[in-house]
């Protein structure tokens, strides 16, 4: 608490001001705050607008402390991109868990992806354009193997398709949402329309493979 004294008209007045206290954040929350500011700068102005000094000022810490959390700009950008991918994957997982039919399953995963890309696509695109983080790939490559295996198993069980057939179908179709998201943000298309087209293409591919598997890929039965 701070006191200040003021004389007016021969009278003494005591003014009391509450001293502002700085909120102490844990290292993990501070690191997240730095990433939040980095995401804001990159989305608004591009990666070139980013600096450790600027991040420190926005986060209310010194530049040296930013470096203590993120030793280099490359480390910071890679961490930010991985965080974005994790958020996207988690949102898709939650959406998938609420589905009761295969159409709902595909649609809700696709909708979650497109909604995220519409909101954060510019940030992801600018991050992926950086040579230092390009090796992390696009959103569909993050945890791809486990996601493909999970969905392929669902498809194999639901449609009675050999898992060896379902797996490459799902792996290849993983590129559809990425293409749809890219089209969405670069052509200012209607998200619902792009969602409908993507879902139709993904379900159509399963239907076509199911038909082919049931007919031409069936093992001959000889007596």
Walk along the chain (223 residues) and give the pLDDT tens digit of each residue: 555 555 566 565 555 555 545 567 788 899 999 999 999 999 999 999 899 999 999 888 899 999 999 999 999 999 999 999 999 999 999 999 999 999 999 999 999 999 999 999 999 999 999 998 888 888 888 888 988 999 999 999 999 898 999 999 999 998 899 899 999 989 989 999 999 999 999 999 999 988 887 777 667 777 7
Backbone angles phi, psi at 115, to 5 degrees: -65, -40
Q: Where in the chain is the domain with CATH 1.10.357?
A: 84-215
Dump pLDDT digits (tens) for 139-198: 888 888 988 999 999 999 999 898 999 999 999 998 899 899 999 989 989 999 999 999
Q: Report the DSSP beta bridge partners of residue 7.
A: 12
User: What distance, in Å, lies between the first and last C-alpha atoms of the chain?
Assistant: 96
CATH number of 24-71: 1.10.10
Largest CA distance in the chain: 118
Q: What is the pTM of this model?
A: 0.78
168 vs 130: CA distance, rounded Å: 30
Q: Which fold has domain 84-215?
A: Tetracycline Repressor; domain 2 (1.10.357)
Q: Where in the sequence of the chain do the CATH 1.10.10 domains occur?
A: 24-71
- 142 backbone dihedrals φ, ψ, rounded to 5°: -75, 120
């Amino acid at each position: 608490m701070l006191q200040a004294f003021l004389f007016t008209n021969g009278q003494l007045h005591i003014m009391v001001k509450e001293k502002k206290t700085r909120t102490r954040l844990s290292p993990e929350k501070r690191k997240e705050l730095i990433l939040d500011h980095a995401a804001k700068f990159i989305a608004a102005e591009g990666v070139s607008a980013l600096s450790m000094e600027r991040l420190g000022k926005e986060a209310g810490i010194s530049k040296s402390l930013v470096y203590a959390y993120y030793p280099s700009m490359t480390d910071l950008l890679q961490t930010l991109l991985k965080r974005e991918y994790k958020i996207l994957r988690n949102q898709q997982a939650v959406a998938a868990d609420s589905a009761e039919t295969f159409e709902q399953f595909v649609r809700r995963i696709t909708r979650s992806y497109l909604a995220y890309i519409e909101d954060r696509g510019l940030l992801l695109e600018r991050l992926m354009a950086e040579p230092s983080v390009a090796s992390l790939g696009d959103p569909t490559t993050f945890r791809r193997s486990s996601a493909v295996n999970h969905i392929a198993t669902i498809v194999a069980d639901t449609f009675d398709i050999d898992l060896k057939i379902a797996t490459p179908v799902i792996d290849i179709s993983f590129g559809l949402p990425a293409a749809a998201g890219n089209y969405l943000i670069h052509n200012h298309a209607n998200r619902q329309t792009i969602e409908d087209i993507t879902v139709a293409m993904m379900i159509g591919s399963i239907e076509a493979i199911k038909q082919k598997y049931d007919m031409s890929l069936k093992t001959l039965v000889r007596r």
